[in-house]
Structure 1
Amino acid sequence: MPTLDIAGDARRTIDVIKRGGIALVPNQTGYAMTGAMLDPLQKIYDTKRRGSHKRNAMAADLETQREMMTLGKREQEMVEAITVDFDLPLGVIGTFRADHPLLVKLGSEALKASTAGGTIGNLLNAGPFHKELTRLSLEEVVPLFGSSANLSGTGTKFAVEDIQPELLAIADITIDYGLCRYHTYRRAGTLINFSTMQVVRIGACYELISGVLKRWFGVELPADPGLDVLPSGHLNEFALKSVQ
C-alpha cells in the first residue's frame, strides 16, 4: 500500500485553491504557499513581509511552460534537457504570452505582481506531488502562484515544523510530506532567465544543471561562490558565457 495519497492530496489542494484558499504544499526544493487569485496572493505576500521588488512564481508542468513561454528553440531545448533528460528541478524565467488561459484566469492585477520586465517564472519538475498538482492546474485552468513558505529573509523551509506559525495559520490546507529531497543544499531551486541567459539564483542541483549546459550546449554558468558568500543563492546579475 502506498504511503502517500498523491492523487487525493492534489485533488483536495486544487479544490481549496479554486475556492480562493491558500495551500501550503511540498516541492522537492522546499515548501511553498500558493493561491490562484489576487486576494490569497496578497495575503501570502503581506504575511511573509515581502519587499515590493519580489514577484510571485508559478508552479507549472512542462506542457504549460511550453505553451506559456516564448523561448527560442535552443533555450527550450536547454530547459528540456535539464528537466526531462536529467530529471532535475528548475526555475525557468522567460518571456511569455499574456493571453495564455491560466494568466487570463489569474487576472491583470495578480499578473502584475507575478511578472517583471516582460518575464514570468515557472517552477518545473519539483517532484511527484508537484507533477500531479500542475497537471490538474492546466487541465482545470487553475493558476498556481505564490512563493516559498517562509517569512522574507529567513530562508527556505524544508520541513513543515520549521515554517513560522504566521504562515501555518493562513493556510487553508497543508500537505505535509516530511523533509524535502533537496534540503542538503540549504537553498531553494535554481533560477535561470532563459530569455537573457542570466543566472538569477544559485540553488538546488546547480552543479548538475551547470554540467548539463556546459557539456551539451557549450554554455558555462558562473561558479557557485558557496553558502558563506551567497547564503540565499540570489545574484544581482551574472551573464552566462559560451565555452571557448
Structure 2
Amino acid sequence: MARTDIQADARRAFDVLKSGGSAILPMDVGYSLIGGSTPSLIRIFDAKQRAEHKLNAMIGDNTMSEDLHDLTPEQRDVVNCLTKERGLPLGIIAPAHPDHPLIEALDEEGLRRSTRDGTVCMLLNAGAFHAEISRLSREECHPLFGSSANRTMQGTKFRVEDIEPEIRDVADVIVDYGLRKYHLYEKSSTLLDLSEMKVVRIGSCYELITDALELEFGISLKQAA
C-alpha cells in the first residue's frame, strides 16, 4: 500500500474545489466538508441540514490571516502564541479587510453565508494536510469554506467510515487519512472571538489554550452564553 502524499492529495482535492466541487478533508480536529463555490456550500448546508444562521469557516493559515484579518498587535501576538509557539489548532473570529482578494472573490450569497458583521472565522494550524491546502488557497486566491463533515448536531467525525452516507455522498472527493489526531477530545476546534477574547465554542485543546492565555497574557477567557 502506497504511503500518503500530502502535496498530491491536496492538489487533487483543491482542483476539485476550485472547479466548484466539494470535498471531505482530513484536519487534525476531525474531517471537514469543504466547498469551493457558493453552489457547493449550499449543497453542503442542505446535506448537513444546517440551520440557516450558521456560518461557514474559512480554511487558512497564519500568513493568510495576517493579510486578511484586521487585528491589533496584541491580538496577533495571542494568535501566534497559541498556533505557532504552542502548536495548537484554533478557530479565530475577527474583522476582515473587505478589499482582500479572497473576500472580493466571494459573491453576495457566499458573503452572507460565510461572514457576519464584517468578521470571518478561520481555522488555523489543523495539521499538515490543512497547511498544504491552505497554501494552495492563498497562493491561487481561491477561498475555501466549510464545516465539520457530519450532520448537524451529530458530532465531529474522526474517521471517514463514521461519516454519515448522505454527507459522504455530497463530496466529489474524499481524502481518507485514517483516525485524526485530536480524536480523544471528540470535538472540533475551539473557536475564539478575538474582539472580545470570548470562547464561542469549546473544542479540542481548550484547556491548553486557556492555560497558555493565563500564563502568557494574564487573560481569563469569557464564554459565550
Q: TM-score, normalised by structure 2?
A: 0.97
Contact 1:92 1:193 in 2 (8 A): yes
Answer yes or no: is 1:6 the counterpart of 2:3: no
Contact 1:22 1:34 in 2 (8 A): yes
Answer yes or no: is 1:16 the counterpart of 2:9: no
Which amino acid is 1:163 matched to?
I
Tell me which residue corresponds to 1:207.
207
Q: Match of 2:199, SS?
A: strand
Tell me which residue corresponds to 1:65.
65
Tell me which residue corresponds to 1:242.
none
Ranges in structure 2 where 5+ consecutive residues have no aligned partner: none
Could you tell me how far apart the structure 2 residues matched to 1:152 and 1:84 are? 31
Answer yes or no: is 1:129 the counterpart of 2:129: yes
Q: How does 1:1-244 map to 2 (within 5 A)?
A: 3-221=3-221, 236-237=224-225
Contact 1:28 1:127 in 2 (8 A): yes
Contact 2:156 2:186 in 1 (8 A): yes
CA offsets 1:185-235 (integer angstroms, 9 cap, x no match): 01111000001211101110111111111011110135xxxxxxxxxxxx6
Ranges in structure 1 where 5+ consecutive residues have no aligned partner: 223-234, 238-244
Deviates more, 1:81-90 or 1:101-110: 101-110
Could you tell me how far apart the structure 2 residues matched to 1:178 and 1:120 are? 29
The sequence identity of aligned pairs, in percent, is: 47
Could you tell me how far apart the structure 1 residues matched to 2:108 and 2:211 are? 38
Which amino acid is 2:86 matched to?
F
CA offsets 1:98-150 (integer angstroms, 9 cap, x no match): 21111111222101111123211000000000000000100011111011100
Could you tell me how far apart the structure 1 residues matched to 2:202 and 2:224 are? 11
Which amino acid is 1:5 matched to?
D
Q: TM-score, normalised by structure 1?
A: 0.89
Q: Which runs of 4+ in 1 moved over 2 A?
A: none
Q: Match of 2:52, SS?
A: coil
Could you tell me how far apart the structure 1 residues matched to 2:18 and 2:134 are? 13
Q: How many residues are aligned here?
A: 225
Which amino acid is 1:67 matched to?
D
Contact 2:197 2:221 in 1 (8 A): no
CA shift in 2, pair 1:3/1:70, >3 Å:
same
Could you tell me how far apart the structure 2 residues matched to 1:236 and 1:134 are? 28
RMSD value, Cα: 1.3
Q: Match of 1:51, SS?
A: coil
